[in-house]
Each structure stands twice: as structure tokens, then as C-alpha cells.
Amino acid sequence: MKTLDLIDSFSEFKEYKNIDRETLMHILEEVFRTALAKRYGTEDNFDIIVNIDKGDLEIFRNRTIVEDGQVTDENTEIAYSEAIKIEDDFEVGEECSEPIYLTEFGRREILAIRQNLSSKIQDYEKSLIFQKYKEKVGEVIVGEVYQPWNKEILILDEEKIELVLPKSEQIPTDRYRKGDTVRAVVLKVEMKNNNPVIVLSRTSPIFLERLLEAEVPEIYDGLITIKNIVRIPGERAKIAVESYDDRIDPVGSCVGVKGARIHGIVRELRNENIDVINYTPRLDIMVQRALAPAKVSSLKVDEEEKKIEVFMEPDQVSLAIGKGGCNIKLASKLVGFDIDVYRTGDEDSDDVELKEFADDIDEWIIDVLINIGCDTAKSVLALSKEELLSRTDLEEETIDEVIRILKAEFDDEDGDKDANKGNKNE
């Protein structure tokens, strides 16, 4: 075998690797130069000719012709008597090119060449994958679930490249089985142990931004700008949008006719409630819009402390805070200030803070009620049992007991007042 026939000897690399033929030939040349350097001490005086069309490779060693007996380095010099055996018209001082055949390499050398070639191709493929997805960071991709695990899901793209969707980047209500289609955004790409790790996310605000761009042409075209997005994945999201064209309603464009545009996104995000807000540079107005559907009576801004005190009617407080406090948390993130809510009617001296009932009501139950904006006894009693059930995760028996304890407090106060009145009459 006088030339290396790549089509026969290395067909598996050409057929099954995602590398173009020309690149494969360059890798092959590099691998053989490494083998030549190891065999002869240097590869500087070798020519390697790769025929891309035919798929073969030839190696020539170039040596200077010297007088017989004057050879000092057999790799770079050749005796005159040996040179004329290759070509009879050679003369001393000329350069002699001699072909190197595959048969001159031992079995171990050939095996090492094949292993080196396989390693080089794998490394090149990994770098291709890394570069490809490095450019896709922030883009939405669609893949198929290959293997769901407890801590992460292994996903394959259309080219069978492995992607990872960690549990922390999944919406809490996401449930996937093998073969399911997944849509997510490329969050980051990194090399670990010389392997590219592509991490996806469905909880990132960027994912929601890309979904909006896909559903709302005005955003994709730049007519509407997304100023900020904040999310509690699977629960609620707030989006501040702005249009520089007075003829375009940014909120209406994002929601669509009868919510047609936003409904598809809501379904993709597992029924995550999405509030689209018209952005304004005026902080006071922005806070009022961010706290919707609650109505703000007044507010006080502390620029230095980055805090805002918001005052509203008692029946609006629970709306402002939202279930589990998610509404006020998102509003704070959206405007970039910590928001504290106060009742305008807190002057009622007969009311009692819930924390005063720590002896009768478990502390965790009090925390749940405070999270929905009910931090006093009367604020809890102002809500019906049905509202308390819908706004909290408490059981009906627990709510009944809380109401009983709170009512008993005021019944006792009323009894004391009546007794005092009776004493005075006497």
C-alpha cells in the first residue's frame, strides 16, 4: 500500500463526523506531522500532499545529497549512492525527495495515528458545538426530551447535540416525558472537562422577552421597546413597554385583540399571569401602574434609601400585595425601589396587630396572613372566608379557627365596654 487511501482506511471519520472534508484533511495532515516528528525527530523536511478530490494522502521526505561516508544526519542527509537508486541523474548538493509509504509505519504507530485522529476530530467537533451555541446565547431553541432526571433534563436539538435544562431553570409546574418537545432560551455555554455544556432556561426574563418578540411584530421591528421584565416563574410577570410612536398603543399591541397575542405566551409559561404596563419615566405614576389592580391614595419617595411608602385604603392593601406577596415583590423589582404599603385608616385604635395573637395562632399562619396584606385583626375580618381561602394556602378549618379567635378578641372588648357603661350608670 503506497498511499494512504482515506476513503478505505478512515471512512468512519468522514461518514459519521459532522466535519467538512477539507477540514478533515487538514486535521489528518496535522496528525501525520505529529507522527513523523515522533518517528524521525522532526517533520520540517517532510511534504504532505492531501488530495481532497480523491481522498488520499502522500508523504515525501526531502534530504540533501552528500558524498558517500559524509552523512551526519540520516533524516536530513542522504548518501549519493542511495540517492541515485531513487533517481539516477541526482548530483551531490541537490535535494532528494523520497516517498514514505504506509508500510514503513509499524502497527502501534498506525494505531496511535488513528487514536490521535479520533481525538483531534472529537476536539474539533466540541469546539464547533461550543462556538455555535456561544453565538446562540439569548436565542430560543426547540428540542426533544431525551432523558428526564430529577435534577435536570437532557434535551437533543435537531442535530442531536445534547442540551441541559436544570431543575432550577424549569417552571415549577413543568412536567416532561421522553419525546416531549421543549422550548427554552440558551442561558449560557461553558466548557467543563473539555466538553461543551449548553444550559437552557425557561425561567429567565430573556425567555419571556423572546416569546414576546415572536408574537408581537411591533417589538421585533423595534416600534415597541421592552424597558424591563420581572418574573416569578409560573406565578406572575410584569412587563414595562414603551412606544416612541404616539399612534401605537404598546400595551394593546402586546396583548392583542381579545388577548390573542398574550394568550399563547401564557400557555407556554404554564398559565403565568402577565401584566403589561405602559412605561413612564415618572416614578409616582410607574409605581401606581406597577401595583395595579390596587389603587394608590398617595405615596412618599425616599431617593437616598431607594424606598417608597405607599398609602391606600384598607381594602386595597391585599390587592397590592397579592398572593404570597408576589405582586408587591414584582412591582418593587420593576421600579427598582423597595415598596412598603400602609393603610390610610390605620388610626383605628381599636384594631390589634396579628403578632399580638402569637399565643393563640401559630407564627407561620400569621406570616401567611401578613404576606397577603393582612397584618391586623380587622384587616383579616374585613375579608370573607372565601377570599381568605383563595388568597392563601390555608385549610378551611384553620381559617375558621383564626376568625373565631379574632372575633373573640373584639367580642371581649365590647363586653368590657358594656360593663364599664353599666358601672357608670350605677
Per the CATH hierarchy, to which homologous superfamily does domain 204-279 belong? K homology (KH) domain (3.30.300.20)
Question: Which CATH number describes the domain made up of 4-131?
Answer: 3.30.1480.10
**Tell me, what's the pLDDT at 43?**
87
**Using one digit for the tens of pLDDT, what is the confidence trace for 110-119?**
888 888 888 8
**Tell me, what's the pLDDT at 291?**
94
Q: Which of 30-34, 53-57, 180-184, 369-373 has the lowest mean pLDDT?
A: 53-57
On the question of pLDDT at 418 being above 60, the answer is no
pLDDT band for 3, please (50, 70, 90 cuts): very low
3-state helix, strand, coil split of the chain in percent (to 5) is: 45, 25, 30
Question: Which CATH number describes the domain made up of 138-201?
Answer: 2.40.50.140
The overall average pLDDT reported for the chain is 85
Cell match 398572593: residue? 323
**Using one digit for the tens of pLDDT, what is the confidence trace for 51-102?**
756 656 788 889 998 998 888 888 888 898 888 888 888 888 888 988 888 7
CB atoms near residue 179 (< 10 Å): 8
**Tell me, what's the pLDDT at 16?**
47
For residues 263 and 269, the answer to whether their CB atoms sit within 8 Å is no
On the question of pLDDT at 411 being above 90, the answer is no
pLDDT band for 414, please (50, 70, 90 cuts): low
On the question of pLDDT at 350 being above 70, the answer is no
Distances (CA, A) of 381 to 59, 183, 360, 404: 92, 45, 16, 10
What values do phi and psi take at 143, rounded to 5? -140, 175
On the question of pLDDT at 2 being above 50, the answer is no
Query: Across residues 302-316, what is the average pLDDT?
Result: 89
**Tell me, what's the pLDDT at 318?**
85
**Using one digit for the tens of pLDDT, what is the confidence trace for 240-258?**
999 988 899 999 999 999 8
Q: In 3D, which of 384, 385, 388, 386 has the Cα closest to residue 370?
A: 388
**Tell me, what's the pLDDT at 195?**
92
Dist. CA 402–CA 379, nearest whole Å: 12
Residue ranges of the domains in the chain?
4-131, 138-201, 204-279, 354-425
**Tell me, what's the pLDDT at 388?**
87
On the question of pLDDT at 239 being above 70, the answer is yes
**Using one digit for the tens of pLDDT, what is the confidence trace for 133-180?**
999 999 999 999 999 999 999 999 998 999 999 999 999 999 999 999
Dist. CA 218–CA 276, nearest whole Å: 15
Quote the distance between the C-alpha of residue 237 and its chain's center. Answer: 17
Using the Cα atoms of residue 277, residue 278, residue 280 and residue 286 in order, give the sign of their dihedral: negative
Helices (H), 62-204: 80-86, 107-134
**Tell me, what's the pLDDT at 54?**
61
On the question of pLDDT at 419 being above 50, the answer is no
- Provide the grid cell at 113: 495515528
Dist. CA 405–CA 383, nearest whole Å: 15
201 or 423: whose pLDDT is higher? 201
